[in-house]
């Protein structure tokens, strides 16, 4: 199974024991802010930005899933890395919803994440990453506007997700700018996902 991993920044990401492996792209977890440092201002700014993200009222990006069904596996160890994401289990074919409004930044297929979407939020500060989808919804195109709750795809097991455990791998990252959809500092989406996924 590990031998099938071929993309950079790949690590396993099961939400539960039954999930043998899945993938995400994500940078290493950042260390905690240090007090009495010249960097405090920058770090405080990051915290402020995270607070802005928390105030955005994201919805759970899988239709019909409520917060009680999502385990926080953000810090779980996965193949020498941390997960930096959450896995949302749902039957194959369940609609995947845009967690927030924004712009479709990138449609990409890779060996580990399978069929994926990178979405830029409307403030252009955050990237939402959706992976392992069975298929996209029709009519998606890079650069198009997305509204919160819009169906963007369907839950599946593409990439390295176990065939018998369909789920959406969902990650939130700070946007690096200039179209760089990958590699931003991750933010734990779990505490942000307090609203059941409802299609709009």
Q: Which residues bind Zn ion (CB under 5 A)?
A: 13, 22, 85, 87, 169
Residues pairing with 167 in the sheet: 89, 156
* Least distance in angstroms from the C-beta of 133 to Zn ion: 13
Question: Which contiguous run of DSSP H or E holds residue 153?
Answer: strand 151-154
- The smaller minimum CB distance to Zn ion, of residues 33 and 191, is found at 191
- The smaller minimum CB distance to Zn ion, of residues 81 and 105, is found at 81
Tokens found for residue 158:
């593409």
- The smaller minimum CB distance to Zn ion, of residues 169 and 190, is found at 169
- The smaller minimum CB distance to Zn ion, of residues 19 and 142, is found at 19
Is the distance from CB of 130 to CB of 113 less than 8 angstroms? no
> What distance in Å separates the CA atoms of residue 60 and residue 196, rounded to the nearest whole number?
5
Question: Which contiguous run of DSSP H or E holds residue 132?
Answer: strand 126-133
* Least distance in angstroms from the C-beta of 169 to Zn ion: 3
Residue closest to Zn ion when measured from CB atoms: 13
* Least distance in angstroms from the C-beta of 170 to Zn ion: 8
Residues pairing with 118 in the sheet: 106, 129
* Least distance in angstroms from the C-beta of 197 to Zn ion: 17
């Amino acid at each position: 199974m590990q031998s099938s991993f071929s993309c950079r920044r790949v690590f396993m990401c099961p939400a539960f024991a039954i999930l043998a492996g899945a993938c995400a792209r994500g940078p290493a977890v950042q260390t905690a802010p240090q007090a009495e440092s010249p960097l405090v201002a920058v770090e405080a700014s990051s915290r402020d930005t995270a607070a802005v993200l928390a105030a955005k009222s994201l919805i759970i990006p899988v239709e019909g899933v409520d917060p009680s069904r999502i385990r926080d596996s953000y810090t779980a160890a996965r193949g020498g890395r941390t997960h930096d994401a959450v896995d949302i289990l749902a039957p194959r074919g369940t609609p995947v919803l845009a967690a927030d409004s924004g712009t479709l930044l990138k449609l990409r297929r890779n060996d580990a994440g399978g069929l994926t979407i990178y979405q830029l939020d409307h403030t252009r500060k955050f990237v939402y990453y959706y992976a392992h989808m069975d298929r996209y919804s029709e009519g998606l195109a890079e650069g198009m506007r997305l509204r919160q709750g819009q169906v963007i795809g369907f839950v599946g097991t593409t990439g390295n997700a176990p065939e018998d455990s369909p789920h959406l791998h969902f990650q939130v990252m700070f946007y690096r700018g200039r179209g760089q959809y990958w590699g931003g500092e991750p933010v734990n989406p779990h505490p942000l996902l307090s609203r059941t996924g409802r299609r709009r």
